[in-house]
Chain A
Amino acid sequence: MLNNMKKSKKDLLLQYTGLTILAVIILIPFLIGFWTSFLPTEEISKGILWSNHISLNNYITAFTQTPIIRYLFNSFIISFLTMIAQILFCSTSAYAFVFLKFKGRDLLFYAFLATMMLPFEAEVIPNFATVRSLNLLNHYSVMIIPFLASAFGTFMLRQAFLQIPGELKEASDIEGLSHWKFYAKIVLPYSRISLYTLAAYSFLTSWNQYLWPMLTTFSDNFRPVQDGLRQLQSQESFNNWGMIQASAAIVVIPTLIVLFFGQHFFKNGLNEGALK
């Protein structure tokens, strides 16, 4: 009995040690980044990482000397509008594939599926030519319009809508509900978990866009934050490490906070999306 208890105590210690080691490995890049963001660049560039000259100066520089706030604002607008559009258009298309009967529906659905196989990265050349001829370059719309609809989102919501009992549709037909009303008042609320997941997914995907905005934005007025950070980093001709780390921190802290509070919900949503 005593032996057993000793063993489980040892076990517990081992478990905590293991967990702590893993946590430290994951955390190191964060910790180094945050720590150096408080140090003066002169000391960082001399390799002095144990300094007691801690200050918020780098943050002040980042906020006042760089357009970091503008970048964040741009990213927010682009991601938010993309999210709204995708929820709307993906849900209407998914509705059409599930509840509407029309000629060529299956064919269209397969066409939608096929687009999921084509990576956007392989299509940037003609897409650039398209947005150029539409005169969309260097504007928010260039980062929103190509992503208004998504085959992945449609597919995901179709899976969710298929879970809605068929009798509900028949019942609402009798009640005289139009498709629009059925869609807005029953289908959407019924599938709200999947909608939240799509919202989170599309927002994050848009927020993390890197290649496309890099090719299509030419001024800080529209540049999103990913490319803004690239910009900040490349225009320092001798690395202002402190300021760059501070800007990275400014960008990452809000998402970490959102993640921290939304963790529970996000976990459920993701598993739902992944396993259904």
Chain B
Amino acid sequence: MKYLRHFLEFTFYIRKFLLAALIFLATVSSFGTQASAKTRTKIVFWHEMTGPAQVQLNKFVNNYNQSQSNYTVIPQFEGNYNEAVQKILNTHGTSASPALFQSMDISTNQIASSGYTTPVQKFINEDNYDVSKISSIARAFYSQNGKQLSMPFNTSQPVLYYNASLLKKYKITPPPVDPSYSDITRVAKQLYQHSDKKVKGLSIEIYGWFFEQFLANSGTSLANNNDGHSGTPTSVSFDNPAAIAAMKWIQTNIKNGSFMNYGAGTNASTNEMASFLSGKLGMFLQSSASISQLTAGTKDKIGVTYYPHLDNKKANGVSIGGASLWISNDKSLQEQRGAWEFIKYLMSPTNQASWQSATGYLALNKGSQNEPVLQKLYQHYPSSKVPSLQLSKTSPNNTNSGVFMQGLIQERTSVQTAMEQIYNGGNIRQALQEAENSMNSAVKSANKANKVQN
């Protein structure tokens, strides 16, 4: 045995090591149990807000938590809209799932048919909450058979932004407030040439949302059965005259050099905005939710127009974008109640007004328009009124009220692939046809898997 004594020291350290590890484990596992002693009910709230919208949302949460003592809302950022949908579906029924979550417009059908949520209508009825003061267009988007499924929260309109100071500097007439494709081409080309090719005229992010809106604004359906409003869609159409016209318009601008392609995804929109703010880009399509960031980010005057439309056709109008708030049904009634209370708080006239002025998402409470915050905003930046004007001038029909179908994330992926091909000089019809085929076969197998009767 004495030969082994050399190693006693070593084993001593090993033991110490293991002990430390055990203590570690114990402290770590106690993290979860500490807070349960408090009397407040925790409301885990998943959202996908970035930048100033996240800042404002966190402010709302803090104010709400201080304003009452029954609930603690815990906001958690879950990445982009696409990621969040599967996270929500995948965690349902586990302790990781949220009590309240935000999910994007095109996921509405999927979330609703999962059966994982409690329709907010239940709480509206219980409280006799007056929903008529919430914008009816936005409410309609998230309701089914007169039942409110979720509460519209951040509602945006796609618009075109232009740098008015830059156009003035190069003596270019700004685009009209309801521009056609060629109006925009004219401005983009002039800007590019007058600036001696230093300023790019136009950028349109590779984003399925914009593609959908080109179709909507031309009165064309993307999916059959009236974009899903009269039944589960069984096929989609990308290769149609409206899409071809929009893609041709983009390619024209690419060919004359005035177009800048920032690609797809988060990096694309941040780079696009950075270029616009630093005066290297004259115009771009984006959500109205970017307004506050743009006005805060530059001293230049910024112009806003409606979504561009076909040259010889009146605009049909675009659908709303953004997301709504849902209450999960896997949490206790108390938690669900807390989630609803927080929704009510967010929808108050004052909060909706601050929401619009901080972000650019539209204030959905009709009472918000008289709030001093909004009055002041309109006074300082008259152009910030454009998105709500666009919304109010639109008369809703089947093609401009969103697409009701599952698997729209895949639709966006395929459309974006086609757009990438087109932006890099590919054949428009071929690209659209390929995307359409791949989406159609996906729709077919999805319907089969979900046992939808054709």
Contacts and interface: CB of A to CB of B under 8 A. Distances in A.
**Direct A/B contact, Cβ within 8 angstroms:** yes
B25 A238 contact: no
Contact of A237 (B28, B44, B273): B273
B76 A45 contact: no
A84 interface: yes
Residue of A135, A185, A218, A234 with most chain B CB atoms under a 10 A cut-off = A218
B293 A237 contact: yes
B50 A237 contact: yes
Interface in A188-247: 188-189, 192, 218-221, 231, 233-239
A77 interface: yes
Contacts of A219: 44, 74, 76
User: How many B residues touch the partner, as a band?
Assistant: 35 or more
Contacts of A46: 278
Given A77-B24, A218-B46, A218-B91, A237 B76 contact: no
Interface stretch (A100-108, A136-144, A154-162, A267-275): A136-144
A81 interface: yes
Interface in A108-145: 128, 132, 135, 137-140
B54 interface: yes
B21 A81 contact: yes
User: How many A residues touch the partner, as a band?
Assistant: 20 to 34
Interface string B174-194: 000000000000000000000
Contacts of B11: 184-185, 188-189
A239 B271 contact: yes
Given A45-B278, A185-B4, A239-B270, A218 B14 contact: no
A185 B90 contact: no
Contact of B7 (A84, A137, A186, A231): A186
A80 interface: yes
Contacts of A254: none
A43 to B, nearest CB: 10
Contact of B94 (A137, A221, A238): A137
| Secondary structure dominating the interface of A | helix
| Secondary structure dominating the interface of B | helix
Nearest to B294: A238
Contact of B14 (A137, A188, A238): A188
B18 interface: yes
B266 interface: yes
A47 B28 CA distance: 44
Contacts of B98: 218
Given A84-B21, A184-B14, A186-B4, A236 B77 contact: no
A236 B50 contact: yes
Given A236-B51, A237-B51, A81 B24 contact: yes
B10 A132 contact: no
A185 B269 CA distance: 60
Interface in B217-249: none
Interface string A173-193: 001000000001110110010
A9 B24 CA distance: 58
A137 B266 contact: no
Contact of A218 (B87, B270, B274): B87
A218 B273 contact: no
A128 B7 contact: no
Contacts of A235: 50-51, 54, 77
Contacts of A186: 4, 7
Nearest to B52: A237
A238 B270 contact: yes
Given A45-B274, A175-B1, A189 B7 contact: yes
B348 interface: no
B278 A138 contact: no
A234 B91 contact: no
Contact of A138 (B28, B53, B96, B273): B96
Interface string B258-277: 00000000100111011001
B32 interface: yes
Interface of B: 1, 4, 6-8, 10-11, 14, 17-18, 21, 24-25, 28, 31-32, 44, 46, 50-54, 74, 76-80, 87, 90-91, 94-96, 98, 266, 269-271, 273-274, 277-278, 290, 293, 297
24 contacts: A45-B278, A46-B278, A81-B24, A84-B21, A88-B18, A132-B91, A135-B95, A137-B96, A138-B96, A140-B28, A185-B8, A188-B11, A189-B6, A218-B91, A219-B44, A219-B74, A219-B76, A234-B80, A235-B51, A235-B54, A237-B53, A237-B270, A238-B293, A238-B297
Interface of A: 45-47, 77, 80-81, 84, 88, 128, 132, 135, 137-140, 175, 184-186, 188-189, 192, 218-221, 231, 233-239
By Cβ-Cβ distance, the 5 closest A-B pairs, closest first, are A237-B51, A138-B96, A137-B96, A237-B50, A189-B7
Given A221-B31, A237-B50, 9 more contacts: A45-B277, A80-B24, A132-B94, A137-B91, A184-B11, A237-B269, A237-B270, A237-B293, A238-B297
